């Protein structure tokens, strides 16, 4: 019984302390530099003496491009797509086997869910009627080339959005484009 009385007194004291706590005032900060940020906002005015106009960083120079990125030369217009039609693949033809293997892997990840593993427009989402109107690569009205395929991956077309952000680099997009042309060739035999 004595233990029950001690436990109840401790419980009452804990409840009393918890009830008196003010949730709007913070606790003590033993190391305030870990709780409060000291970094500068990137483009906000800060008097740091490093850059003009008190900014913490400067915008890139007009006309520069990021390291490892090459801009795509064709615009996102129907005329740009027609110009891309004549654009050949820059991949080395001696590595065609490796490119096809990698292209098949990437196609299975990003494209087959809609376009189907054979390119016949019967992917999993089409079969479940989540997406309608995905044509087959064998459709004679689809006069696709490796250049227009790359253009479509880069910018998107109709209800298909751009997939350029999913790929690590331009080489992977060209590998998938070449694999799509192989699928088209297999379907039209």
Higher pLDDT, 187 or 38: 187
Q: How many helices (H) and strands (E) does the chain have?
A: 7, 0
Residue 43 has pLDDT above 70, yes or no: no
pLDDT > 70: percent of the chain: 86
Coil, strand or helix at 157:
strand
pTM for this predicted structure: 0.67
In which band, very low, low, confident or very high, does the pLDDT at 138 lie, cut at 50, 70 and 90?
confident
Helices (H), the chain: 2-20, 78-84, 96-110, 112-115, 124-127, 146-155, 170-187
Interacting residues of 52 by C-beta distance below 8 A, sequence separation 6+? 58
Looking at per-residue confidence, does 35 or 139 come out higher?
Answer: 139
Q: What is the DSSP letter of 141?
A: T
The two structure tokens encoding residue 107:
């196609």
**Mean model confidence pLDDT for the chain:** 84
Return phi, psi of residue 186, to 5°. -65, -35
**How far is Cα 139 from Cα 145, in angstroms, rounded to an integer?**
13
Read off the pLDDT of residues 74-86 as tens digits, 9 standing for 90 and up: 999 999 999 999 9
Query: Tokens 């250049």 — which residue?
Result: 147
What is the arithmetic mean of pLDDT over 164-182?
Answer: 92
pLDDT one-digit tens code per residue, 64-115: 887 777 788 899 999 999 999 998 988 888 989 999 999 999 999 999 999 9
């Amino acid at each position: 019984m004595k233990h029950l009385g001690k436990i109840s007194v401790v419980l009452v004291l804990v409840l009393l302390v918890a009830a008196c706590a003010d949730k709007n005032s913070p606790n003590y900060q033993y190391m305030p530099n870990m709780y409060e940020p000291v970094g500068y906002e990137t483009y906000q005015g800060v008097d740091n003496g490093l850059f003009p106009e008190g900014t913490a960083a400067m915008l890139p120079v007009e006309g520069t491009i990021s390291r490892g990125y090459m801009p795509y030369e064709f615009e996102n217009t129907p005329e740009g797509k027609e110009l891309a039609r004549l654009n050949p693949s820059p991949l080395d033809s001696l590595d065609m086997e490796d490119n096809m293997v990698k292209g098949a892997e990437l196609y299975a990840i990003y494209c087959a869910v809609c376009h189907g593993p054979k390119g016949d427009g019967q992917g999993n989402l089409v079969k479940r009627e989540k997406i309608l109107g995905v044509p087959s690569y064998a459709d004679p009205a689809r006069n696709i080339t490796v250049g227009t395929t790359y253009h479509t991956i880069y910018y998107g077309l109709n209800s298909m959005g751009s997939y350029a952000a999913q790929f690590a680099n331009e080489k992977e997009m060209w590998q998938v484009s070449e694999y799509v042309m192989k699928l088209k060739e297999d379907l039209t035999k």
